[in-house]
Chain A
Amino acid sequence: MAKINEIDTEFFADERSSSFTVIGTPAQRSDALGHVTGKTEFFEDRAFPDLAHVKIHRSVHHHARIDSVDCSEALKVPGVLRVITHHDVPANWYLVLRLIGVEPHDEPVLAEDRVLYVGEPIVAVVADTEAAAIEGASRVKVSYTELPAVLDVEEALSPDAPVIKKDGTNYFVYEGHHARRIRFGDVEEGFAQADHVFEWRYSSAPIEHAPTETTGCIVVPQSGNRLLIHSNTQAAFFTLDNTALILDRPFTDLQVKGGTVGGGFGGKVDVIVEPLACIAATLTNRPVKFVYSREEEMQVSSPRAAERIYIKDGVMADGRIVARKVMLYVDSGAYSRHTPYGTTKAAAHLPGPYTIPNVHADCHCVYTNRTPSSAMRGFGVTIADFAIESQMDRIARALDIDPLELRLRNAYRDGDMKAHRKVASGTALIEVIQRAAALVGHDLPPEYLAMSSSTPREA
């Protein structure tokens, strides 16, 4: 019998209906038995007698001009069928977010005359066997002229930093601004009015989704010129649409089949493997597999962006936060992928689940010569929460206020105006704090136990 956490029905009792028959029951997860008995079929479990394999020759420099690419030795490796360069990619420059109208298309499927990060793909080698593809990829010769690299988000924004992006700025431009902005109230006035001002810095290193199954696909040419893509993508149509645009082919030429994913966590929405596998399948007219090795998954596939966050708070002696200014630097790495979106999502999340009358945020999506970062569970929010909640703990200690009472004093409630000017509704921060306090025997004074998210705060 599965472990089931208690549902405490005392909270919000008058808002809960309970006249369900199937909803609310612990029905067994439909894929559970297949997983534990080894019967689940992943994309790699499909066998094709003439399956070919793709491996990549990658940049060894953070930032360099490509002077020449010599594939002649690769082609001499027994079993190598083709090499694929940017000349074989119909629409080489892309941005996955183009589907929602985000521009510019800042990333090449295969590098042209420059590489912007260690591990950037330059040449794809298609071969009869995985071993031949690896050998072929290793024999590609690229000569480079190294260029100065930028590896720090704040250095990338300094006026004397080399501009690494062809579009002219080391940051994503949000409708003319260098950052996604939040402007609510007047933070300077808030700081002036505050009894205390606290400013601290937080940061994180990039992390990996670490799925059990690495990112990959098998593309099988069909009769009638269609391509069937067996993929572990998290988003079948997102993959199909982006792939068709890169291939410059009708969308109806492609079929994506998936639905069994050995761990996603946001790591399988980048549409990296499918376009090259489709090109390889088309050029060789054979089924083609392109799957990341574990090393590629760890060092080449998009990590969660590293972030740097400065939070400056104006706080009254009683713990009310009256102003919060946040400077956020999200390390997008060399290309945009999903990070311009995640940075906006970060802005929407600020200043956290608290009602603060004056909020100012500049959320920068910054380009550096690192592995491009992208979506990951908690996109735009996880690192901000680390910073905000560390900040709350430090303020509570500085003012000698109980850490939960400080949060309850500032907790947002129904009807409060958020910094992005949406009226809060369905809030429940107060209640989860109250319930967690009870779980660990952390006593709260009666006035804090009496608080409610649906009761408007006193003016």
Chain B
Amino acid sequence: MALLRGRGYASVNYPTGMNLGGDPSQALIHATTMGGFVVSLSSVDLGQGLKTIAAQCAAETLGMPMDNVIVDTADTDTGPHCMGTFASRGTHRVGNAVIMAAREAREVMLQVAAEELEVDADDLETDGSGFVRLKGSPETKIHVQDIALAAHFKQGRTISGRGIFLKERSYPVPETGEMDPDSAQAHACTVAEVEVDDETGIVTVLSLHNAYEIGRALNPAMVTQQVEGGAWMGVSHAVFEATEPYYPSSRAHGPVDFCEYLMPGPAETPVQTSVILERPASNGPFGAKGIGEMTANAPIPAVANAIFDACGVRITVMPFTPESILRGLDELRDAEPSA
């Protein structure tokens, strides 16, 4: 009996968006009296960081610090329409809508500033710290608080903007499947290393080495959490999870809680080493592609291929249970000519 090690590879791509169904999201933005900017959405942040991304996109476009941006979302009375958070679409669709809204608001902001400074709006720029200044003459400047106050109480203008992203719906051609199903494709390659215990059939995923191409890392820390969390989920699908362990033959023994529905704990979680590549998408917000879903996918076949490399058992059914490994090993032994 032995612990057998193996390495497996997998490379995948993944589409951004769901424009087989019609795929719009909207954003509204307005300045408060003191130069805050409220981004109004109805989009749902699932914990992946959509609110933070919306704030970054707004701040970058407005030329204001992130602290000035407030994101108000997930209320259908106050936020404009969003199709929803799925299909790796949030960053791409909502990001684009926020940028469009912020551009419009920025234009008004610069016009108000121009009137206060008695210059041409085209000659103004933001400095990223909260000031609007004259290009080439940075002493001629006005803080966003003063711009907002002037807009509200002196000029009678709303510093606001409207944004929408819509990729027109694609209807597949029934005969051929011709369609335009996505806005971009992200990419991943995973190398998995596993250890197979040929006595118990237990597969331990030791490490994952990943390269991800994601368009643009709008927030590298959140990219890290998303790719690592996703890859963990892939490992979990590969070697642990099933709501029907005996699918399709029976529905018996379906787990009903986390004592029965197994997932990797800290001891079963592989070491992950990942590198990010950026090939900006022409239609993405600052080039970003959607990566929410993709990162769970490559680890699964990489682990399957590593199991074969380790012990010669080709697993074709998910999840890769100890039972399936042991049955595979038995078949290999049975196939060997007897000594």
Q: Does B31 contact A (CB under 8 A)?
A: no
Q: Which chain A positions have C-beta within 8 A of B63?
A: 21
Return chain B residues, CB-CB under 8 Å to A100: 21-22, 169
* B130-138, B147-155, B196-204, B243-251 - the one binding chain A: B243-251
Interface of B, secondary structure class, is loop
Cβ contact within 8 Å between B221 and A26: yes
Stretch of B49-57, B116-124, B326-334 lying at the A interface:
B49-57
| CB-based contact B179/A422 at 8 Å | yes
> Does A5 contact B13, Cβ atoms closer than 8 Å?
no
- Which segment of B107-115, B158-166, B269-277 sits at the interface? B269-277
Is B174 a contact of A207 with CB atoms below 8 Å? Answer: no
Contact with A along B55-88 (1 / 0, CB 8 A): 1110110010110000101111101011111110
- Known contacts being A348-B179, A394-B314, A440-B191, is A294 close to B47, with CB within 8 Å? no
The answer to the question of A233 belonging to the interface, with a C-beta cut-off of 8 Å to chain B, is: yes
- Distance A305 CA – B169 CA, assembled complex (angstroms): 25
Chain B residues positioned under 8 Å from A106 (CB to CB)? none
Of the residues A23, A299, A379, contact of B56 by C-beta under 8 Å: A23
Q: Are A180 and B172 in contact (CB under 8 A)?
A: yes
Interface assignment of B293: CB less than 8 Å from any CB of chain A: yes
Contact with A along B283-320 (1 / 0, CB 8 A): 00011010011101110111011001000001011110
A22-B66, A393-B8, A427-B185 are known contacts. Are A432 and B277 too (CB-CB below 8 A)?
yes
A389/B11 in contact, CB under 8 A? yes
Q: Which residues from chain A contact B289 at a C-beta distance below 8 Å?
A: 426
Complex: A31 Cα to B84 Cα, angstroms: 19
CB neighbours (8 Å) of B74 from chain A are 236, 256-260
A415 interface contact, C-beta 8 A: no
Within 8 A of B (CB), among A1-40: 2-9, 11-12, 15-17, 20-31, 35
> How many residues on chain B are close to A (CB under 8 Å)?
129
Tell me if A306 and B244 are in contact (CB < 8 A).
Answer: yes
Please report the C-alpha to C-alpha distance between residue A304 and residue B173 in the assembled complex, in whole angstroms: 26
- Please state if B257 and A295 are interface contacts (CB–CB under 8 Å): yes
Q: Once the chains bind, are B188 and A432 in contact (CB under 8 Å)?
A: yes
Specify which of A235, A349, A435 is in contact with B82 (CB 8 Å cutoff). Answer: A235
B residues less than 8 Å from A262 (CB atoms) = 47
- Give Cα A181 to B7, complex, Å: 35
Residue B216 at the A interface, CB < 8 A?
A: yes
- Contacting pair A263 B47 (CB below 8 A): yes
Taking the complex as formed, is A152 at the interface, i.e. its CB lies under 8 A from any CB of chain B?
yes
Contact, CB under 8 Å: A235 / B293: no
Indicate if the CB atoms of A439 and B191 lie closer than 8 Å: yes
B233 within 8 A of A: yes
A: interface residue count bin: 35 or more
How far does the alpha carbon of A230 sit from the alpha carbon of B227 in the complex, in Å? 30
B52 CB contacts on chain A under 8 angstroms: 27-30
Flag if A429 contacts B187 (CB, 8 Å).
yes
- The one of B128, B179, B298 that contacts A389, using a Cβ cutoff of 8 Å: B298
8 Å CB contacts to B: which residues of A387-429? 387-390, 392-394, 397, 403-404, 407, 411-412, 419-422, 424-429
0 or 1 for each of A345-386: is its CB under 8 Å from B? (1 = yes) = 101110011000000010000000011000101110111011
> Which residues of chain A are near B176, meaning CB under 8 Å?
181-184, 421
Return the contact of B248 from the options A31, A201, A306, A361 (Cβ within 8 A).
A306
> Does A204 sit within 8 A of B, measured CB to CB?
yes
B242 engages A207 (CB within 8 Å): yes
- The one of A25, A263, A390, A411 in contact with B316, judged by C-beta atoms closer than 8 angstroms, is A390
Across the A-B interface, give the 4 residue pairs with the lowest CB-CB distance, nearest first. A235-B84, A259-B74, A389-B301, A26-B221
B→A interface (CB under 8 Å): 7-15, 18, 20-22, 42-47, 49, 51-52, 55-57, 59-60, 63, 65-66, 71, 73-77, 79, 81-87, 128, 169, 172, 174-182, 184-185, 187-191, 209-213, 215-225, 227-228, 230, 233, 237, 241-245, 247-248, 251, 254-258, 261, 263, 273-282, 286-287, 289, 292-294, 296-298, 300-302, 304-305, 308, 314, 316-319
- What are 22 contact pairs spanning A and B, CB under 8 A? A21-B59, A22-B56, A29-B221, A233-B84, A235-B84, A237-B82, A261-B46, A266-B86, A303-B243, A348-B172, A349-B15, A371-B243, A379-B86, A392-B10, A393-B301, A403-B305, A404-B11, A420-B178, A428-B277, A431-B277, A435-B211, A439-B275
New A-B contacts (12) at CB < 8 Å, excluding given A30-B55, A385-B10, A432-B187: A23-B57, A35-B47, A100-B169, A202-B317, A254-B76, A261-B45, A262-B47, A263-B46, A377-B230, A378-B294, A381-B293, A429-B189
